[in-house]
Chains A and B, each alone.
Chain A
Amino acid sequence: MRRQIPMLITFFVGALIIISEFIPHKPFGTLSTSLEGWFLIISGFAIILGQLSLFKVNIIKISRKAPNWSYYIIALVSFSIMVICGILWGTQKQPGLIPISDKILNFFGYKPFDYIFKYLFENLSATMFSLLAFFMASASYRAFRARSPESTLLLVAAVLVMLGRTTIGSSLTGWIPDSLGFLHLPNIASFIMKYPNTAGQRAILICAGLGVIGSSLRIILGIERSYLGGK
């Protein structure tokens, strides 16, 4: 019964969504929008679960003095400061429980929540994102080693695209007459990106789309039960 009821609900809702795709008449036409709304409501409540889990895991690690336990204190303190600032004084768009005094507003220039978000959080996020450039260099170094015909092809394509997308590419092949314009590095780079690259990406997308249909049918028909903890 514990499995059958969720499976029945899944079948009923899944079938209804498929049918509603082809029937614009009410109530089918607005069904998927309504269900998306339900999903948002449920996920709003689920946020509390996430926050409780965050608190619990950090407190357990601190109380057990797990390795590097002091970092978990920082996580909890940061979390608490943001929650308290947000609830008490609100944000730029939302008022808080108590009105913010001019003194605090003049000191920070923003509400405390917005100040921390703008001057701490955004910078930390940007720092993490900027790491991507270095990781890209190290990953490319490994990926572009000519070990096999395929990786050599990858290396050649990558070099052509990289050169074609920079000013070096234009200056290296700028002397080639217009009648042989297809040999210009920027044109070669555009060709690679526009045709072989797009074709490959579309192939992946089409197959992924089929995969989604297959998975959805397995779930709707109750053949796939892993998401319920079944085999």
Chain B
Amino acid sequence: MKKYFLYFFLAGFFLLHAPLFAQDITFTAADNPNDDGGAILLEWIAPASIPEMIITRSIDKKEYIEIARVTPLLQTYIDDENIEDGQEYYYKLAVLNEDGDIVQSFTASAIAKAQWFNTDKIPLLIMTLLLGSAILYFIVSARKGKRLYIRKISGLDTIEEAVGRATEMGKPLLFVPGIMDLDDMQTIAGLNILGHLAEKVAQYDSTIHVPVCRSMVLSTAKEIVKEAYLRAGRPDAFKPDSVFYLTDDQFGYVAGVDGIIMREKPAANFYMGAFYAESLILAETGFESGAIQIAGTAMPSQIPFFVAACDYTLIGEELFAASAYLSNEPTQLGSLKGQDVGKAIIIITLLVGIVLEIFGIHFLKDFLATH
């Protein structure tokens, strides 16, 4: 009887403690989520006291090759070295003791595959759909003839005044489309404004200088100014050399533009696009020359410089709204109204987030922050 008690006790001991040992270290392998395949995510939970662990990989469970040496604190490892989609890979996590001997090993396997939807980007998709729908709704409303109120943007209303002043003074206008290339949305926004400005310049029979610092911007700006003259019915007045390339170098470009400002003394300077440290050098030189200055950028660190040195500054979104505002087309103005709805959504989300955080509910913050 004693013997059975002893067996029962031992069986009970192992049954109770075996899961505890197993729970000490867990090791899993799975397809790396939200990628285009070719990667397997390995995860483990292990006591921090373990000095080192070795991960090995095999495709036939026979021959294992070492792929990494990790520590328990690392917790994850993405294996993306020569991983083929659809092939099953077997992994071993070998736990080493302080002498470097393997004392325990755990196995796991996984198959890599590509995903058709990135679930990490669900919040972005929701925001994109909401914003897109709002913008499209107001564009359709405007097309149907609904009157939309758009607040006045003084800097843009002054464009005609600036061109008129330049014509009266017999001086040219200067347009600087920033120092970035066409892959920057601010440059495109600046060039859109250039189209409207050049049309006014053509109507008033004034002249415009457009020095650029990127070759791609050169060809685009030249085409935009040429088309603007054509639209104004004065294609003969277009001078191809009014749009010219200076240099790709930031301060070389500034030196060139400053030289033009001091020599030609333009009646009005327009700085529309992406600017960095050169913003104040340009704007202050323009201020010294006595020109009307209108600037627009979405670079938060450069806006104070333009505000200090220019007569009018388009701040952030105003730069992107400028073209729609100047065109006065209902459909374009409708899209601006849609952006306002987007702002309202963001403000509401922020307020809800603040309230939830105050009450210790972190759902919204986690949902937005982790994605």
Chain A contacts to B: CB under 8 angstroms: 18, 21-26, 29-30, 36, 39, 42-43, 46-51, 53-54, 56-57, 60, 67-68, 71, 124-125, 128-129, 131-132, 135-136, 138-140, 142-143, 200-201, 204-208, 210-219, 221, 223-224, 226-231
Provide the bound-state CA to CA distance between A47 and B321, in Å.
30
Check A226 against B327 for contact (C-beta < 8 Å): yes
- Which residues of chain A come closer than 8 Å to B245, judged between CB atoms? 49-51, 53-54, 57
Closest chain A CB from B232 CB (angstroms): 11
Question: Nearest chain-B residue to A61 (Cβ)?
Answer: B241
Q: Which of B227, B230, B280 contacts A135 (CB 8 A)?
A: B280
Check A128 against B254 for contact (C-beta < 8 Å): yes
Question: Nearest chain-A residue to B38 (Cβ)?
Answer: A26
Provide the bound-state CA to CA distance between A210 and B329, in Å.
20
- Which residues of chain B come closer than 8 Å to A215, judged between CB atoms? 185, 188-189, 320, 323
Given A135-B281, A229-B224, is A223 in contact with B251 using a C-beta cutoff of 8 Å?
no
Q: Which of B117, B230, B303, B332 contacts A204 (CB 8 A)?
A: B303
Check B231 against A231 for contact (C-beta < 8 Å): yes
Q: Which of B36, B218, B301 contacts A30 (CB 8 A)?
A: B36
Check B335 against A216 for contact (C-beta < 8 Å): no
Q: What is the predominant secondary structure among interface residues of chain B facing chain A?
A: helix
Check B255 against A143 for contact (C-beta < 8 Å): no
In the assembled complex, 14 residue pairs joining A and B whose CB atoms fall closer than 8 Å, in A order, are A25-B37, A26-B37, A48-B215, A139-B284, A204-B315, A205-B316, A213-B339, A218-B332, A218-B335, A224-B192, A226-B192, A227-B195, A229-B224, A231-B327
Q: What is the predominant secondary structure among interface residues of chain A facing chain B?
A: helix
Check B36 against A26 for contact (C-beta < 8 Å): yes
Q: How many residues of B contact A (CB 8 A)?
A: 92
Question: Nearest chain-A residue to B220 (Cβ)?
Answer: A227
Is B300 interfacial (CB 8 A cutoff)?
Answer: yes
What 0/1 readout, one digit per residue, does chain B (279-313) give for beta carbons within 8 Å of chain A?
01101110100000000001011011101110000
Check A206 against B188 for contact (C-beta < 8 Å): no
Q: Which of A49, A50, A136, A207 contacts B343 (CB 8 A)?
A: A207
Is B237 interfacial (CB 8 A cutoff)?
Answer: no
Check A223 against B335 for contact (C-beta < 8 Å): yes
Of A39, A67, A207, A210, most buried by chain B (CB within 10 Å of CB) is A210
